Copies of this chain bind each other. A is one copy, B any other.
Amino acid sequence: MHASPATLTGVNADFTFDRATRVEETARGAWRAEVSPRWNIYGVPNGGYLATVGLAGAARLVPHPDLLSATAYYPSRTEPGDVLIRAETLRIGKRVSTAVARVEQEGEPRIEITAMYTDLDLAQGPTHVPSAPPSIPPPDQCVKGEGPIAADFLQNFDLRVTPGTAGWASGRPSGQAEMSGWVRFADGRNADPASLPLFADSFPPAVFNLVPPSWTPTLELTVHVRGRPSPGWLQVRFTTRYLQKGFLEEDGEIWDETGTLVALSRQLGQIRM
């Protein structure tokens, strides 16, 4: 039960994501990490990526192999470069373990993360999923995610946006705050519970199909992992229903290639103009 997460998930440290979330223990419960500029959007590291950096510390303290739930609050902006992660366990339970991790930079708290871990193989109980994933065009009929603003970030992914939700990028927003499509790592690494918080924040804000694109920082992000993804594409849908005085929620659903829901996400964001 105490093997490292890398061993448990068969991760190959040659992959970009694993290099970008590598942590080096400096003391008991403390790790140094390097926030890579490769995951920048508008010159700022992506919030989902930052959460996975902090989680890499927390995961090393718990015996359970699978991330079950992670919540990140972002009190201030993290820059690419050195960070210190301090983590502690709140409880090591039989079924679920809980840990907190704080990401510090220049001596200040930048991200506060709480997370639960479990062994998804041992989950048992009733299952009732009312609907299949929404039917969308296959990846080769979608629009490849690319462009100067998020060029650093997007190079890590093979990301395809459905024609119906890609219009905002060419000045033709759909008028519906939805963004759907497919995504996988560009280097062939498979998605796993540890990387799902990154995928949950990998698409442009759904609200860009409703209002002109502007700086929309994440204030809070929670991801519930509901299954281990099968190898291959992830199908995603992000929607915003309530935009109120600049505050908005963005809800995400992530299915694996077999059509199983593997994560639900929600973030609180704020449009800053």
Contacts and interface: CB of A to CB of B under 8 A. Distances in A.
A243 B71 contact: no
B127 A100 contact: no
Nearest to A243: B128
B222 A222 contact: yes
A interface, how many residues as a size bin?
A: 35 or more
Contact of A114 (B69, B71, B125, B246): B71
A132 B13 CA distance: 50
A124 interface: yes
13 contacts: A68-B247, A73-B98, A90-B112, A91-B108, A98-B112, A100-B112, A114-B114, A114-B220, A123-B246, A126-B245, A224-B268, A226-B242, A242-B264
Interface of A: 68-69, 71, 73, 75-76, 90-91, 93, 96, 98, 100, 108-109, 112, 114, 116, 123-131, 177, 210-211, 219-220, 222, 224, 226-227, 241-247, 249, 261, 264, 266, 268, 270-273
B75 A91 contact: yes
